[in-house]
Structure 1
Amino acid sequence: MTDVRSLPVPDGLEGERVDAALARLFGLSRSRAADIIAAGDVLLDGRTVAKSDRVHGGGWLEVTLPPPPAPPRPVAEPVPGMAILYEDDDIVVVSKPTGVAAHPTTGWTGPTVVGGLLGAGHTVATSGAAERQGIVHRLDANTTGAMVVAKSEVAYSRLKRAFKERRVDKRYHALVQGHPDPFRGTVDAPIDRHPSGDGRFAVVAGGRPSVTHYDTLEAFRAASLLEIDLETGRTHQIRVHMSAIRHPCVGDLLYGADPTLSARLGVTRQWLHAVRLGFEHPTAGEWMEFESPYPDDLARSLERVAEDY
């Protein structure tokens, strides 16, 4: 069923491209907005437009939004390299490899943690949306490390609440460019989708409150190894905050990393690893902590930065 929206263009979007304006108004990707425009489903002051046309404040938009695509279902197949750190009747803690998403999403065709667990014969909770059953927190597809998945329904509800109430200890290690000043500090800056609508996130006035604490573990000539403690858990939070203070994660080309340094260190993704995860067991009540060792690619690049820089 289609959804027809009619609304004036806010003055704050004066001069924006039509595809960018649609992305911001309706929370779409730029590519999906462009597809809607190409289908002739966008009128500006009664006329069809091209994606590169510009909107003007007070102009009248009529947009026919197609129905959202059906959520993808997890494909049950083992994920090579995904290690089980701990498992009982309520939870399973994994060390997630790179190139693996937490759960299926539109446009992602690679392996997922949920699918990998199901494919290896593990059970997961049935609570939550169909595509993300058992998932109580996420790591980016190319961020590695410790991640807990709920197996029982009670574990799902209690862990979701624990993450929401910030009663979980999430520690990451990140190799960032340069040397943060001060060596230990806090980045307290709101995050929301980047105004470009290209899938990135950014520090944006009026965004969701986001707090990242960092501490320098070791300083090299060209980079620093940080331990990071997340107080909040926004999408791409560490990557956005490190980029905002001009010390992006090595290899994170999406957020401004130097491609030359990344290539010299052999880093082909953001150097970011969820090294430790601590939480209260959802049924037993005891505090548990799990550590995930560096994967080979990050360990090699760390040796290289220590030797060469």
Structure 2
Amino acid sequence: MEEKHSLTITDQSGRLDKVLSKEIEKLSRTQVQELIDNNNILVNSKKEKASYKVKSGDQIEVVISQKEPLNLEPEDLHLDIIYEDDDVIVVNKPQGMVVHPAAGHPNHTLVNGLLYHTKDLADSEEGFRPGIVHRIDKDTSGLLMVAKNDHARQSLEKQLASKTNKREYLALVHGNFKTKSGKIDAPIGRNPNNRKQMAINPNGKNAVTHFEVLEQFKDYALVKCILETGRTHQIRVHMKYIGHPLAGDPVYGPKKTLKGNGQFLHAKTLGFYQPTSDKWLEFSVDVPEIFQKQLEKLRRG
């Protein structure tokens, strides 16, 4: 089902995304950008950027596809709950599990499991990600913090924004390092040539990753990555950028790589201030079995 809007510019002025988000109430500027990316917005029968300055007489056509509403079903997914109190849940997400429902993944997600575990999850703006304040990719395993109420959600989001929490990852990457540690400071945005991928993009968002080489093997290394920011696919894109893509990564890694279930990336350590008591909480979990076995194999040479 599609909803169509036709608009002729008269006295409106400014950027295309700003004008449309004002004229069509249900659209945010982010949604306008998505519609532009999908060729669902045409100006005078042509695709224009979100930053295009509208002119009097411009004919704008907007097509909005009506998405099926996501039905959030509680499911008993035997989640590995590491810690829980009245405000937060810390869960060890298995590799292969999507964090929240979306088109193509309506169920079997972490959110479905959380809804079975508790009715107390903070509301989310979009409605389909209750309790979720940060994500890790489907094939990344490890720790996530979940908010059980709005007070907790605001506190955890503030800690993420002000970089006062702790997020440390373990990754198996390609190549031999010349330095034992380093800092990668490179902005990340959508890949202009492939909208499904992220890339180093001068117009992207600020992104900083610190890394430390824990073990060097022949052609591979075990590294610890510490996130200063939390961009989509940040570690995967940054490690590829410095010439050490993640082993097993089907999107950013080479074809010849270690066999696994996707990238060898594990969110090992998570630390944050408890939203009500302000007490520091810190948790660590071991890498999954497939990661451990690959590690032992590399150690044996």
Using structure 1 for the length normalisation, give the TM-score: 0.79
1:212 is aligned to 2:209: yes
The alignment covers a number of residue pairs equal to 271
Amino acid at match of 2:215: E
Q: Secondary structure at the match of 1:227?
A: strand
Aligned position for 1:15: none
Q: Which residue of 2 aligns with 1:130?
A: 127
Q: 1:90 aligns with which of 87, 90, 96?
A: 87
CA contact (8 A) 1:99 1:110 kept: no
Q: Describe the SS at the equivalent of 1:300.
A: helix
| Structure ranking higher in helix proportion | 1
Q: In the alignment, is the contact (CA less than 8 A) between 2:73 and 2:107 conserved in 1?
A: no
Equivalent-residue separation in structure 1 for 2:212 and 2:144 (angstroms): 22
Between the aligned partners of 1:271 and 1:67, the Cα distance in structure 2 is: 36
Given the two structures, how large is their TM-score scaled by the length of structure 2?
0.80
Match of 1:2 in 2: 4
Task: Classify the secondary structure of the residue corresponding to 1:118.
Answer: helix
Contact 1:5/1:65, CA 8 A, preserved across alignment: no
Alignment counterpart, residue 284 of structure 1, candidates 264, 277, 292: 277
Q: 2:169 aligns with which of 146, 158, 172?
A: 172
Residue 21 of structure 2 is matched in structure 1 by none
CA distance change for structure 1 residues 127 and 267 in 2, over 3 Å: closer, same or farther?
Answer: closer
Deviations 1:214-260 (A, max 9, x none): 000000112111111111000000000011111111000200x2333
- 8 Å contact from structure 2 (residues 248, 263) kept in 1: yes
Specify which of 151, 156, 160 is matched with residue 154 of structure 1.
151
Q: Deviations over 1:74-131 (max 9, x none)?
A: 3311224x30100111111000001212211223245222110112345312254311
**Secondary structure in structure 1 of the residue aligned to 2:194:** coil
Percent identical across equivalent pairs?
Answer: 35
Letter in 1 for 2:81: I
Deviations 1:178-207 (A, max 9, x none): 123322001100000011233100001121
Counterpart of 1:27 (choices 31, 34, 45) is: 34
The one-character-per-residue Cα deviations of 1:239-298 (angstroms, maximum 9, x if unpaired) are 00011111111000200x233332xxx323011000000001111111010112111111
The verdict on how the C-alpha distance between 1:260 and 1:148 changes in structure 2, with shifts beyond 3 A counting, is same
Q: Offset at 1:305?
A: 1.8
Change (3 A) 1:162 1:6: farther
Q: Which residue of 1 aligns with 2:101?
A: 104
Q: Which of these residues, 73, 76, 91, is aligned with residue 74 of structure 2? A: 76
Gaps of 5+ in 2: 10-31, 48-57
